[in-house]
Amino acid sequence: MDNFFKPRSIALIGASKDKTKVGYNLWQKLKAYPGRLYPVNPRFGYQRVTDIKVRIDLAVVAIPARFVPGVLTDCVAKKVKAVIVISSGFAELGEAGVSLPPPPVPFLGPNCFGVANPSRRLDTTFAKVDPPPGNIGLISQSGALASYLFNWARQEHLGFSKFISLGNRLGLTENDFLEYLGNDSATKIIALYLESFADGLGWLKLASRISRKKPIIVLFGGQTPAGRLASQSHTASLSPAGAVVTAALNQSGCLQAKTITDFTNLLEVFSLEPELKDNDLAIVTNAGGPAILATDTASSLNLDVAKAVDVLGDAGAGRFSQALNEVLKDKTRDAYLIIITPQANTQIESTCRAIVRRFRSVKKPLIVSLLTGRLTETAGNILRQNRIATIELPQEAVTGLAALLQWHRGHKLDLYPARRSYPIHSPSGTLPEGRLTWKQAQGLIRRYQLPLVKTITLDQPVKPADFSWPVVLKADPSAGAHRTEAKAIYLNLKTGAAVKTAYRRLAQKFPLILAQPQLTAGHELFIGLKREPGWPVLLTLGGGGVYTELYRDLARVFLPVNEKLIANLLRQTRIGQIIFGYRNGVKLAVKAIVKLILNACQLIEEFQSVQELEINPAILTETSVTIVDLKITTFRDSP
């Protein structure tokens, strides 16, 4: 990988004297690189890369797509150590794109923005602004976003250790460069903009290991159907569902940014600040309103804030400085937020210089919220030049501090893969393809001790002797319909006449009908298990019943799991708070609930042909858990 970032010799294939060409911009930038540089162009420099007599460590290709396959053949013949293809016009265009088989050489692209190693003056991008040197390792599927970040970092006095644009990822992927940056001593934090994962399982394993020693901050695009379609035409990749992305980032110990502003705030905080080891936050302000908003945000993010120190709106630099001295005497504080607003007597620049002096030897996180707009650039530069984080809005500053604490505490979490607390055996027999009927699922229900409510199949209306009243009639799970919307379920049937009417209506649309006793008490739990392409099985837990999709009280994790991980997952949901005794209330049947979830996980891990298992709902009480509805779907063609 060093050949991408520390090459001794570079061949620019497509170097140009035409200022309108990308090859011209690249040639001008690469002239600053201290290594040997060789232009390749039939009208400018060498005819072919094979004509160069010395060894080439890195070839950068910026030519029309139709010529790229032949050039890559030359690179292989020349034994070039690494290749970057800037050219576009391949898989991102669909069938109209040029076909490009991956060459047997470390290869980045095509359709990429290049790489950069600012500390060595290596820049193979065609960005308007050169990336400044620093400690952020950036991997991006968007060259335009990277170009913006270069400009932002220069303004904020931040910079990059390495930059990598992935392009279509025909060769190397984010996982290859994530591992490289994880071992790079110049990289303090790793930032990624992604629109898809090249290898989800590989990401989980790798990021879980690296995030223990370095923060990984991810901004993910393509989280809506429209966004996923756009990403496919952008980088020839299809984004996974948002739920999969969030689960993957959470379980691998990464921090997920929701917006570009969120992303840049986190980059600034983690680039400049030391670790935040506990949650006691001190606030010093000359304005009550912003401090109250910051306190509200801190409280919602589990940061403890004593009453903010308000120096009042007429405070000059001296009063600010005195307040800072008093606050710093309290050694129990873990982090500091200073809020400065422009009022008549506010000495903004002098106050910033006082902050620099007072905090020069303090090894704890500090963020200054300069609510000054464009009134003064000098004040912000005073802080930035002294490596003090400046985030304009105090609520966003608090969010950044909370992220510092989240990462520190995340080291103690069970990252992927968790220890499995159940054995995995080879299954005996095979399962039918598609949605299983209730009868077809009976063997699995018994084998894995899934506590299903008493259920019978009907070929005639239910008799009063079969159940105690009231009863429920519904279509067999193999029907696949959302029962409420499809009118495939009739509840609270208390008479034989009501049962006959319900049976007749169901029988007109559904060939298989089930009858169960109506359970009238308890809380409803949703348990979902699904095999996502390229990922381990995804477990989803949350509030169940007909309002599952409306309330979206859900938490997710990839298998394998154990009792501790399931308990932690449940506690992230409202139904989980009830299960464990909300406000010192009575706990529900915790052991039975956890056992049910583990048994369902064991089932899908043992039977690889099971694509999806859904329990919705399981009825929970203080003494029992009972499954009311269970759907098992197998692959049409076994994986």
The CATH number linked to 335 is 3.40.50.261
Query: Which token pair is 598?
Result: 């583990």
- Residue 291 in domain: yes
Asked if residue 95 and residue 221 are part of one domain, the reply reads: no
pLDDT of residue 234: 42
Asked if residue 142 and residue 237 are part of one domain, the reply reads: yes
pLDDT of residue 487: 87
Q: Which of 95-104, 185-194, 320-329 has the lowest mean pLDDT?
A: 95-104
Asked if residue 362 and residue 327 are part of one domain, the reply reads: yes
Residue ending a domain, among 517, 536, 564, is 517
Model confidence pLDDT, tens digit, residues 38-67: 999 998 899 999 999 999 999 999 999 999
Q: Which residue has the higher pLDDT, 146 or 550?
A: 146
pTM: 0.92
pLDDT of residue 97: 81
pLDDT of residue 203: 97
Model confidence pLDDT, tens digit, residues 461-486: 666 566 778 999 999 998 876 777 77
Model confidence pLDDT, tens digit, residues 555-606: 999 999 999 999 999 999 999 999 999 988 999 999 999 999 999 999 999 9
Question: Alpha-carbon Rg of the chain, whole angstroms?
Answer: 30
pLDDT of residue 235: 45
Q: How confident is the model at residue 34 (pLDDT cuts 50, 70, 90)?
A: very high
For residues 18-36, give the mean pLDDT.
Answer: 95
pLDDT of residue 588: 97
The CATH number that applies at residue 88 is 3.40.50.720
Asked if residue 463 and residue 398 are part of one domain, the reply reads: no
Share of the chain residues as helix, strand and coil, in percent rounded to the nearest 5: 35, 20, 40
Length of the chain: 639
pLDDT of residue 496: 87
- Residue 421 in domain: no
Residue ending a domain, among 410, 438, 472, is 410
- Residue 437 in domain: no
Asked if residue 149 and residue 261 are part of one domain, the reply reads: yes
Residues 347 and 356: their CA atoms lie apart, in Å, by 14
pLDDT of residue 55: 98
Asked if residue 122 and residue 204 are part of one domain, the reply reads: yes
Give the total number of structural domains in the chain.
5
- Residue 446 in domain: no
Asked if residue 199 and residue 127 are part of one domain, the reply reads: yes
Asked if residue 246 and residue 121 are part of one domain, the reply reads: yes
CB 208 within 8 A of CB 415: yes
pLDDT of residue 594: 98
pLDDT at position 551 over 90: no
Asked if residue 567 and residue 493 are part of one domain, the reply reads: no
Q: What separation, in Å, do the N-terminal and C-terminal C-alpha atoms of the chain show?
A: 35
pLDDT at position 236 over 60: no
The CATH number that applies at residue 506 is 3.30.1490.20
- Residue 541 in domain: yes
pLDDT of residue 636: 82
Model confidence pLDDT, tens digit, residues 395-412: 999 999 999 999 998 766
Query: Domain range for residue 300?
Result: 274-410
pLDDT at position 417 over 70: yes
Query: Which residues are CB-neighbours of 343 under 8 A, at least 6 positions away?
Result: 286, 287, 313, 314
CB 31 within 8 A of CB 60: no
pLDDT of residue 391: 96
User: Please, is 428 exposed, middle or buried when counting C-beta atoms within 10 Å of its C-beta (0-12, 13-18, 19+)?
Assistant: exposed
pLDDT of residue 103: 87
Asked if residue 123 and residue 256 are part of one domain, the reply reads: yes
Asked if residue 463 and residue 331 are part of one domain, the reply reads: no
Asked if residue 196 and residue 184 are part of one domain, the reply reads: yes
SS3 category, 599: helix
Q: Which residue has the higher pLDDT, 552 or 211?
A: 211
- Residue 436 in domain: no
